[in-house]
Amino acid sequence: MPGAGPPGSRKVVIDFPKPLFERTERAAAELAINRSALIRSAVDQYLEALHRKRLDEELAAGYAANAELDRRIAAEFSSVDYETF
């Protein structure tokens, strides 16, 4: 839709339950931003949090997968006397 927003933007129509809509309107007024900016910001923050959560889960899985190897390496070097270095 020409002139509807910045180039490359898309207009989205969503349904809000009335209580959520009212909270959104109040928050936008308190923050002195328009509803669209508030919703864009909220979605962006949610997606960033979701991305961080997925990365954390992948890191945890990687640490768990390597835990046995780490224990074996530590056991192999546990008898090394640091004074011999």
Spatial separation of the C-alpha atoms in residues 36 and 44, rounded to whole Å: 12
pLDDT computed for residue 32 by the predictor: 97
pLDDT computed for residue 38 by the predictor: 97
Q: In which residue ranges of the chain is pLDDT below 50?
A: 1
Question: Pseudo-torsion of CA 59, 63, 64, 68, nearest 10°?
Answer: 160
pLDDT computed for residue 54 by the predictor: 94
pLDDT computed for residue 61 by the predictor: 87
pLDDT computed for residue 33 by the predictor: 97
Domain ranges, ordered by start, for the chain: 18-78
pLDDT computed for residue 83 by the predictor: 59
pLDDT computed for residue 63 by the predictor: 84
Is residue 27 within a helix (H) or strand (E), and if so which, with residue range?
Answer: helix 18-31
pLDDT computed for residue 42 by the predictor: 97
Q: Give yes or no for a contact between 66 and 51, defined as CB atoms under 8 angstroms apart.
A: no
Spatial separation of the C-alpha atoms in residues 5 and 12, rounded to whole Å: 11
